């Protein structure tokens, strides 16, 4: 989202600079500022999501971590389940 919004806002800004700068209509300038703000928010959300994913990965329970080198890897722990009209296999691999 950030990349698309940023590219569109920079393109629109370049068009304004080429056609009407420095006396562009206020509505057009405000529209460019809103597009820049949308791109900034998209970047912020992306950075926060990456940080949250990293934190969740690094603080996951030991049972969810892959076995360390030299340790015997446990086999898949599968068990059947039946729930209402559904049936299948669940477990950790």
The reply to whether 65 falls in a domain is yes
The count of domains in the chain is 1
For residues 60 and 93, what is the distance between their CA atoms, to the nearest angstrom?
16
**Length of the chain in terms of residues written:** 93
The 10s digit of each residue's pLDDT in 21-60 is 889 999 999 999 999 999 999 999 999 999 999 998 888 8
In a domain, 75, yes or no: no
In whole numbers, what is the pLDDT of the chain averaged over residues? 82
Query: Is residue 12 situated within a structural domain?
Result: yes
Is residue 78 in a domain?
Answer: no
Return the pLDDT at 85.
73
DSSP state of 79: E
pLDDT band, very low/low/confident/very high, at 83 (cuts 50, 70, 90):
confident
- Residue 13: CB atoms within 10 Å: 19
Confidence of residue 73 (pLDDT cuts 50, 70, 90): low
Of 32, 47, 54, nearest in space to 2 by CA: 47
Domain that holds residue 6: 2-70
Distance (Å, rounded) from C-alpha 35 to C-alpha 11?
A: 11
């Amino acid at each position: 989202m950030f990349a698309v919004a940023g590219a569109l806002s920079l393109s629109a800004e370049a068009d304004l600079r080429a056609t009407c700068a420095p006396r562009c209509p206020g509505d057009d300038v405000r529209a460019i500022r809103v597009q820049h703000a949308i791109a900034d928010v998209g970047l912020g959300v992306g950075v926060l999501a990456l940080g949250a994913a990293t934190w969740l990965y690094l603080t996951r329970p030991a049972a969810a971590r892959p076995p360390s080198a030299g340790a015997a890897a446990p086999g898949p722990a599968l068990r059947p389940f039946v729930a209402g009209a559904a049936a299948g296999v669940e477990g950790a691999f």
